[in-house]
C-alpha cells in the first residue's frame, strides 16, 4: 500500500508542478486549460489526502477517481477520474499488487478511458502513451524477478518516446481535433503529461545508493 500511496502522491505533485507547462501545450490547439484542470483535481486530492480511505488499494484509487470526476469538468476530469476508478476496480481488497496485477489494472483503465472518451490508439491522445506503458509492464511481469523500478524505468522510456513519435500526427479526438491538420506538428498535452508523470515516478522510486 505504501508504494501505491507514494505513486499517487507523485502523480498529484507532478500535475500541480507542471500546471502552466501543460496548459501552454494545450493552448497551441486546445482551450489552454488542460494543466489547470488537472492541477485542480489533484489539489483537491491532496487537500483530502489524510482522510482518504486506505483500507485497500481499490478503495484508495476509487476515492481519488471520484474526487477528480466529481470536481473537474471538460475532458480531463471524466477521463483521468475513470482511469483511477477502473484501476481501483481490479484492486479491491488488496493491500499489495504484483507487476502482473498492475498491468491488468492499466489495461482496465485504458479500456475505461476509451469507452468514456471514444478515442482509439492513433488518435493522438493520452492513450498513445498509456498503451506502451501497459505493454512494457506486462512484458516485465513475465519474469517475476524483475524489480518494480526497472519496469517503471523502461515503461517511462517508452512513454517518453511517444512525445516526438506522435508529434507529426493529426489529432482525431479531443479539443485538438477541432483544428484538423493544424494539429500536425504539435505536442499532445495528455501524452506529455503521462510521460512527465512516468519520469517523476522513476525518480521517486529510484533505488537509494548504498
Number of domains in the chain: 1
| Arithmetic mean of pLDDT over the chain | 91
Question: What is the C-alpha to C-alpha distance for residues 163 and 187, in angstroms, rounded to an integer?
Answer: 7
How confident is the model at residue 183, as a pLDDT? 76
Segment 73-118, tens digit of pLDDT: 778 889 999 999 999 999 999 999 999 999 999 999 999 999 998 8
How confident is the model at residue 145, as a pLDDT? 85
71 touches 41 (CB < 8 A) = yes
In-domain check, residue 51: yes
Task: For residue 152, give the C-alpha cell.
Answer: 517503471
11 touches 38 (CB < 8 A) = no
C-alpha closest to that of 81 among 123, 126, 41: 41
In-domain check, residue 107: yes
In-domain check, residue 184: yes
Residues of the chain with pLDDT > 90: what percent? 76
Segment 128-184, tens digit of pLDDT: 999 999 999 999 999 988 888 999 999 999 999 999 999 998 888 766 665 566 678
Question: What is the C-alpha to C-alpha distance for residues 96 and 159, in angstroms, rounded to an integer?
Answer: 25
Q: How many CB atoms sit inside 10 A of residue 118's CB?
A: 12
In-domain check, residue 109: yes
32-41: average pLDDT: 91
Question: What is the C-alpha to C-alpha distance for residues 81 and 72, in angstroms, rounded to an integer?
Answer: 9
In-domain check, residue 210: no
62-66, 74-78, 130-134, 188-192: segment of lowest average pLDDT:
74-78
CATH of the domain at 14: 1.25.40.340
Show the domain range for 80: 2-205
C-alpha closest to that of 106 among 122, 124, 90: 90
DSSP state of 48: T
How confident is the model at residue 39, as a pLDDT? 96
Amino acid at each position: 500500500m505504501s508504494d501505491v500511496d507514494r505513486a499517487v502522491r507523485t502523480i498529484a505533485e507532478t500535475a500541480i508542478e507542471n500546471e502552466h507547462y501543460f496548459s501552454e501545450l494545450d493552448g497551441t490547439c486546445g482551450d489552454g486549460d488542460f494543466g489547470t484542470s488537472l492541477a485542480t483535481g489533484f489539489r483537491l486530492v491532496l487537500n483530502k489526502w489524510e482522510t482518504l480511505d486506505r483500507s485497500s488499494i481499490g478503495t484508495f484509487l476509487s476515492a481519488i477517481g471520484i474526487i477528480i470526476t466529481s470536481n473537474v469538468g471538460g475532458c480531463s476530469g471524466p477521463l483521468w477520474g475513470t482511469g483511477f476508478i477502473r484501476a481501483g476496480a481490479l484492486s479491491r481488497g488488496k493491500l499489495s499488487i504484483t507487476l502482473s496485477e498492475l498491468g491488468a489494472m492499466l489495461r482496465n483503465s485504458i479500456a475505461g478511458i476509451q469507452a468514456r472518451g471514444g478515442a482509439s490508439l492513433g488518435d493522438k491522445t493520452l492513450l498513445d502513451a498509456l498503451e506502451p506503458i501497459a505493454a512494457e509492464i506486462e512484458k516485465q511481469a513475465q519474469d517475476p524477478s524483475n524489480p518494480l523500478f526497472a519496469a517503471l524505468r523502461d515503461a517511462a522510456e517508452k512513454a517518453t518516446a511517444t512525445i516526438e513519435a506522435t508529434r507529426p500526427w493529426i489529432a482525431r479526438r479531443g479539443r485538438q481535433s477541432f483544428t484538423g491538420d493544424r494539429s500536425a506538428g504539435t505536442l499532445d498535452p495528455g501524452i506529455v503529461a503521462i510521460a512527465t508523470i512516468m519520469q517523476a515516478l522513476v525518480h521517486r522510486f529510484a533505488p537509494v545508493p548504498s
